[in-house]
Structure 1
């Protein structure tokens, strides 16, 4: 699935365009759910909130996905904005998970 890209269908109507977008939205949300599961697991391996925030790792991911965008013909600006927003949301979720793990460890 690495670097998989399906050619965009030539649609004959707005309804057909929307049907393709709806199909893609379902796949994107499923992938976000999967990614979120891994983010939740990552919290177990991080010692501090600074490890969760990991700004150097964020920039590494951004560089990787903007490179992929260029390779796959996507708008790199859009990809970067989407990823920055997504990563910010996942960092918030991971911080909550990390705090929960830390409070559970302190009770044990």
Structure 2
């Protein structure tokens, strides 16, 4: 395995690319872990209609903006990103609920 250097330690374009590839892999792994939590949340929802939880989305977006700004990344970009991924996760959770929970009490 190639050693991952910090951005400050990178001495070549290849070092930078290796670092970016490692981060992208970890982002994808984090998104997959997030999906497992989303699927688990379906265990606590009485029906598929309970899944969207717009009040939860409304509460979490400002916090994500704050986290982004504190990390030095544009909060507006992060909000746009979440506005894209949240509906996808909701749709996947609805599908998951339908396949694993429908008909259960």
User: TM-score band (shorter)?
Assistant: 0.7 to 0.9
TM-score normalized with structure 2 length: 0.81
- Larger helix proportion, structure 1 or 2? 1
Query: 5+ residue gaps in structure 1?
Result: 1-7
Pairwise CA RMSD of aligned residues?
1.8
Matches within 5 A, 1:18-97: 18-97=17-96
Shift of 1:24: 0.4
* Structure 1: distance between partners of 2:64 and 2:47: 26
TM-score (norm. length: structure 1): 0.79
CA distance in 2, matches of 1:55, 1:71: 25
Aligned residue in 2 for 1:5: none
- Give the Cα–Cα distance (whole angstroms) in 1 for the partners of residues 41 and 57 of structure 2: 14
Number of residue pairs aligned between Structure 1 and Structure 2 = 98
